[in-house]
């Protein structure tokens, strides 16, 4: 539910920013980062929450998934910039804004997950 609200909020913010008369923000593909981060957040949280959260494996898995996600972000922005050079700067700005929003959400999710009592 929280992820749905975040995705909707991020989409509304990106749409609003894309309507501003600025070459740094005007893009018709403002929705792509929301879709990207919605899917990757679901996958990352599913992978992170499997297994024991008190083990060293949890820490390494969390770091590995975060690094893989960052690498995937860089690759996505790079590929987009090769395909659509005219729109690349605005797309990258929207992408970074949503990266920050979704990273804050993911960190708050992980903190709540870690603080939950362990149930068997």
Cα–Cα dist 39/55, whole Å: 26
Q: Could you tell me the pLDDT band of residue 96, with boundaries at 50, 70 and 90?
A: very high
Domain membership of residue 49 as a residue range: 23-115
**Residue 9 domain flag:** no
Percent of the chain with pLDDT over 90: 50
Rounded to an integer, the average pLDDT of 33-43 is 92
Residue 68 forms part of a structural domain: yes
Classify residue 51: in a domain, yes or no.
yes
Residue 11 forms part of a structural domain = no
Strands (E) in 43-97, as ranges, are none
Question: Is residue 3 in some structural domain?
Answer: no
Indicate whether 39 belongs to any domain: yes
Q: Is residue 55 part of a domain?
A: yes
| pLDDT score at 68 | 93
What is the number of domains present in the chain? Answer: 1
Q: Which of 6-15, 24-33, 43-52 has the lowest mean pLDDT?
A: 43-52
Which of the four pLDDT bands, split at 50, 70 and 90, describes residue 102?
very high
Q: Which candidate, 1, 8, 19, places its Cα nearest to that of 101?
A: 8
Give which of 27, 24, 109, 4 is closest to 66, Cα–Cα.
Answer: 109
Distance CA 33, CA 23 (A): 18
* Per-residue pLDDT tens over the stretch 44-94: 888 888 877 777 888 888 889 999 999 999 999 999 999 999 999 999 999
**Mean pLDDT, range 91-104, rounded to an integer:** 93
């Amino acid at each position: 539910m929280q992820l749905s609200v975040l995705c909707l909020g991020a989409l509304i913010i990106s749409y609003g920013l894309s309507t501003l008369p600025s070459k740094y923000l005007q893009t018709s593909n403002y929705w792509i980062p929301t879709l990207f981060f919605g899917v990757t957040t679901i996958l990352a949280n599913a992978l992170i929450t499997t297994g024991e959260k008190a083990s060293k494996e949890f820490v390494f898995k969390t770091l590995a998934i975060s690094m893989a996600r960052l690498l995937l972000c860089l690759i996505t922005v790079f590929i987009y910039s090769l395909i659509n050079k005219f729109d690349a700067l605005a797309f990258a700005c929207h992408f970074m804004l949503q990266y920050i929003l979704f990273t804050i959400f993911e960190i708050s999710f992980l903190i709540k997950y870690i603080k939950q009592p362990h149930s068997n």
